[in-house]
Copies of this chain bind each other. A is one copy, B any other.
Amino acid sequence: MHILILGAAGMVGRKLLDRLVRDCRLGGETITRFTLHDVVAPEAPAGTGVPVSLSASDFSLPGEAERLVAARPDVIVHLAAIVSGEAEADFDKGYRINLDGTRRLFDAVRAIGDGYRPRLVFTSSIAVFGAPMPDAIGDEYLTAPLTSYGTQKAIGELLLSDYTRRGIFDGVGIRLPTICVRPGKPNKAASGFFSGIIREPLAGQEAILPVSDGVRHWHASPRAAIGFLLHAATIDGARLGDRRNLTMPGVAVTVAEQIEALRRVAGDAVAARIRHQPDPVIERIVAGWPRGFDPRRAIELGFTAEPDFETIIRAHIEDELGGRIAA
């Protein structure tokens, strides 16, 4: 089985690859080749005998997607995207990568034809939804995004379903919750603070909270996200029917509840490292975001997330901090 990962140098891409290298298999089949692509060169994984092709380019440029799928990967995991804050700041770049790049990838698969019909996993986002919204958004709720990023993801979802219906590939779109706790340095996503207020205090550093602590949002750990991707890569597509895009399960908590969970896990001194400094731009973006979901279809289809926010924090401490908290 040949697996192509677009966006392989990103946090989720690297964690997915680590897991695949460790498993050596996906859905009962032996992995025989990896193709790893990103705009910057992805690192080759250590400790695998499986052949790995590394590739760095702007995949939205003409010819790039064709080159990437020419070897007919069996599974394509499309993680590449301009994140929400940057897509809002740079209209052209967001549409070029998130819309045109995705469509070029889909069309490159179509151009091969000849019975080639890979599983294509598309990472969408809860940013496809926009206010006003119910507290728990159901699986039949309108996608009416309030950001260009959310618009581009919602368009990718529509194309994914239509191309799948047309038999071009076997697509599964997963709307990731906000990934929390995101390890490493902050990226340009407007949602970055949801992780920052947990990650920095646990590492002994101050964190800025740019919104009110009454903000409720929808989270899953990087560990859960990898589980979603593996399940999306291997599930029987026929079980999804024509609606190929699924809201993933997660944990709905307010920022205050996040902070309380941090206090319970790590103590008052750690929780005291969060400083409230309102940012009207972030506040405005986040006000248009979902507060929670009722993702029945994904749960029925076997996707699973953490039961609560404390479990999310403990996963971060185990996976990223070697079990240690900075006093």
Contact = CB atoms under 8 A, between A and B. Distances in A.
Contact of A166 (B91, B154, B159, B161): B91
Contacts of A243: 144
Give the contact-size bracket for chain A: 20 to 34
Contact of A161 (B151, B162, B242): B151
Contacts of A158: 143, 145, 151, 154-155, 158
Contacts of A131: 242
Most buried by B among A158, A161, A165: A158
Nearest to A137: B140
Given A130-B242, A154-B158, A242-B130, A166 B148 contact: yes
A146 B91 contact: no
A161 B128 CA distance: 12
Contacts of A130: 242
Contacts of A154: 158
* Copies of the protein in its oligomer: 2
Contacts of A155: 155, 158-159
B142 A142 contact: yes
A144 B161 contact: yes
Contact of A151 (B141, B146, B151, B159): B159
Nearest to A107: B95
Nearest to A288: B242
Interface string A129-171: 0110000000111111110100100110011011001100000
- Of all A-B residue pairs in the complex, the 3 with the closest CB atoms, nearest first, are A151-B162, A140-B142, A151-B158
29 contacts: A130-B242, A131-B242, A139-B142, A140-B142, A141-B141, A141-B142, A142-B142, A142-B143, A143-B143, A143-B158, A144-B161, A144-B242, A144-B243, A145-B158, A145-B161, A145-B162, A146-B165, A146-B242, A148-B162, A148-B166, A151-B158, A151-B159, A151-B161, A151-B162, A154-B158, A155-B155, A155-B158, A155-B159, A158-B158
